[in-house]
Amino acid sequence: MSRKITFLTLFLWLMTLTFPVIAQQKADTTYTFRFVPREDMFYVPWNGNDTELARLLECIEKNKATILDGKLPLYVDGYCNSLGSEAENLATAKIRANRVKSELIIRAEIKEENFITRNHATEGDFVTVRLTVPAKETAATDADTEARRKAEAERLAAEKRAEQERLAEEQRKAEEARLAAEKAEAEKAAQQNTLADTPSETKITNDYHLSLRANLLRWATLTPDLGLEWRICPSWGIAVNGSWTSWTWSDKDRRYALWEVAPEVRYYMGEKKAWYLGAMFKAGQFNYKLSETGKQGDLMGGGITAGYQLRLNKALNLDFNLGLGYLNVDFEKYEVIDDVRVRRGNETKDWCGPINAGVTLVWKLF
């Protein structure tokens, strides 16, 4: 009987020593903070982060002395797998973990040395904070924590599926856009080939580079006129026209003589490059005596030209043109007395209006 009493007493004494140890067994408590895929900003009032942060701050407050003593570290794990490479994922996971730690340092007044941090390029876009606290403080929340972890895993899986579907849809649209662009390019090439096969009358191009020009209106007034035009490209050309004549009659008492040079820059427009606008400069000298008084002097000016080239055949065009602008004429008057010119004064006149007109035959050299 005494042995049983002694054994029972020893058993109760051992239980008294071990029960507090059992009661103080520690268990992990994990808090999860979610992040927007591919971003590192910690949005506290988003997707339940504010509720989770409040629970964590309450737990830290209960164990603050132990945490600050370094006996209860906070294990912080950053996760990211929504970027293109492992290096990018690890860098973003590190930033996310640091943002969560900064929030805890400010709100709970703990220090950097109270954390143990690791970063991962797997599983999802979140940060976990884990504390190993006495089991008596976490037993009541183990079931809730497990349920939340399960719900979080399901949510992350759903987000991953949605992201994969989105990427697949973007890839499909990109492929459709690529095929549409290739089709449009092929149609454009076919259209250009068709234009290349059409007769030269309908091509949107210039069919000559150098041409010889003759203003038929000048020739009709017994003033020979010749010029050249160089087509730099289908839209631009440089032309130079020159006129010269010298006629006398009535024993040289009457005279009609002049020379002119008119360089011009042209810009061709329209589908067939037939219409054009230009800028012209004109300089020359003249000697007219059609009555008792003659006029001899210089002219200089310039203006804007416009015209249209009518295609006659492969070798010839007909150029209709008109120039408007300003001319300055400086001349002296004279009379002829006994075959001697007698000066009768000087005059200077300015003219604004038509300064050039032509119906020009264009011979395309090459």
Among 278, 286, 281, 300, smallest CA distance to 349 is for 300
Among 206, 223, 205, 201, smallest CA distance to 214 is for 223
Longest dimension (CA), the chain: 179
pLDDT per residue as tens digits for the range 245-276: 998 888 888 888 999 999 999 999 998 999 99
**DSSP string computed for 338-366:** TTEEEEEEEEEEEEEEEEEEEEEEEEE--
pLDDT per residue as tens digits for the range 173-188: 999 999 999 999 999 8
Say how far apart CA 179 and CA 184 lie, in whole Å.
9
Contact 264, 278 (CB under 8 A): yes
pLDDT per residue as tens digits for the range 23-45: 344 456 899 999 999 999 999 88
Which ranges constitute the DSSP H helices of the chain? 2-23, 49-62, 64-68, 86-108, 135-138, 142-197, 216-220
Whole-angstrom CA distances from 73 to 112, 132, 275 are 10, 8, 85
- For 84-121, b/e burial (b = at least 16 CB within 10 A) is eeeeebbbbbbbbbbbbbebbeeebebeeebbebebbb
Say how far apart CA 157 and CA 28 lie, in whole Å.
24
Contact 308, 273 (CB under 8 A): no
Least confident interval from 45-59, 146-160, 306-320, 328-342: 146-160
pLDDT band (50, 70, 90) for residue 204 = very low
